Amino acid sequence: MSDAIVELGSEPVIQPPVDRGPTTRRGAGVWVRHNLFRTPLDGVLTVVFGTISVVVLYKVFTFVFLTGRWEIIRVNLQLLMIGRFPAAHVLRLAVTVVGLAAWGGLIAGLISGRRARAGTARRLPLRRRAADLIGRFWALALVVLYLLVLAGTPGPWIMVGLALAAALVTRIAGGWLGRRRPNRAITVGLALLLAAIPPGLYLYVLAGLGFDEWGGFLLNLFLAVCSIVLCFPLGVLLALGRRSGLPLVRWMCTVYIEIIRGAPLFVLLLLANVALGFFVPTTLAPEKATRAIVVFTLFTAAYMAEIVRGGLQSIPRGQIEAAKAVGLSPVRQTVYVVLPQALRNVIPAQIGQLISLFKDTTLAGIAMGLFELLNVSSAITAQEAFRGQGLIGETITFAALMFWIVAFTMSRESQRLERRLGVGTR
């Protein structure tokens, strides 16, 4: 195809042709031949794996919508989600969900308002915002709707409605506060309030039922959230310590990381459950769930340290020299220049490790006897109404769906954060 010539004033400008690809030029048939049947081997692989995919999708469809007996999930939904939590204290969980929704909405509003004040926020119409939220959380919304339908009572619907309303109201209030420049007293008070809300809600729920009595998917979520919050700063400190110029600090961090990374997580959980009693009196030993959080935190922090250390090594030497040139102290160089870039570069690896931590919470049920979701899924098949009916497939599928939706949402939000921060681009 000859180059097109476009007259611009008096001088001709040669404009190269735009290759719009085979799909736009000749239709979908060319795209299929070009991408799926380019060579005989490609054709064979397409037919084989296409057939396998169709069979798998057919089996999944028939199991989910035709042959699956989901009555066991509907009857035991509360047990699967919150374990043996007493009905008299379920209201505490509802209050906590609404409180956390309001807390998250306030934080999101403050961030949005601050960006608007700085002039870095994009003003999107309401329709675009709704479309963005649907694109981000459609899978999570479908699963929540499925659980609400299974519940069959108005209580969960009211709780979700109140949580959404609380998040919306605090989001608007947070945006109003963020667009203004509050004085130091208001800023400190707001920071203290945001820091106190999650511990306060935890103590409020704990007053109704001891930590060891929690169960179901609630326990998996709580173990994961606490471990994530604790392991991330510890991992960053270990990474900085391993690169420290002080030999004692560097050796201690290196020994800790190598020992913990070389030990299986399941063995550490067993030691925390069994061997701790040989060293600590029973009256002083923490609850099993607390031991699990400690093990998950220490174990994941070692892996997180190596991930962060890789990010620190990816920072060009010129960045540190530039920070020194403007007179920043070593601490300020790390906090303001090196560490933000390092954490940005390793976002995918960090989120992958945190997703792995969330899925590993099922090991606490096997190693420590906690009544988490996987244990509940196995136990309810032994109920008198369902014994001997081979319903383990249905219960395990439900548990897999719960873990998948959380991991999928974390992954999608991680990808969104990468795009906003320009990870992998220059």
Share of the chain above pLDDT 90, in %: 47
Which helix (H) or strand (E) covers residue 11, if one does?
strand 11-15
The answer, yes or no, to whether residue 19 has pLDDT greater than 70, is no
**147 CA to centre of own chain:** 20
Q: Answer whether CATH 3.30.420.40 is correct for domain 213-426.
A: no
Residue 17 scores a pLDDT above 70:
no
Q: How many helices, marked H, and strands, marked E, lie in the chain?
A: 21, 2
The CA distance from 194 to 285, in Å, is 31
Indicate the pLDDT class of residue 16, thresholds 50, 70 and 90. low
Please list, residue by residue across 355-371, b when 16 or more beta carbons sit within 10 angstroms of its beta carbon and e when fewer do.
Answer: bebbebbbbbbebbebb
Instruction: Find the mean pLDDT for residues 154-167.
Output: 93
Instruction: Calculate Rg over the CA atoms of the chain.
Output: 27
Token pair in block for residue 145? 């709707």
Q: Tell me the mean pLDDT in the region 280-288.
A: 78
Supply the pLDDT for residue 10.
47
- Does residue 96 carry a pLDDT above 50? yes
DSSP SS3 for 15: strand
What tokens does 366 get?
């096997």
Q: Which residues, including other chains, have CB under 8 Å from residue 81's CB and lie 6 or more apart? A: 147, 216, 217, 218
User: 7: part of which helix (H) or strand (E)?
Assistant: strand 4-8
* Cα 328 to the center of its chain, rounded Å: 34
Residue 43 above 80 pLDDT?
yes
pLDDT of the residue at 426: 56
Q: In terms of pLDDT, which residue wins out, 99 or 282? A: 99
- Range from 31-45, 175-189, 288-302, 362-376 carrying the lowest mean pLDDT: 175-189
- Residue 301's nearest CA partner among 231, 223, 228 is 231
For range 278-300, the mean pLDDT: 86
Task: Return residue ranges of the chain for CATH 1.10.3720.10.
Answer: 213-426
Distance CA 33, CA 3 (A): 27
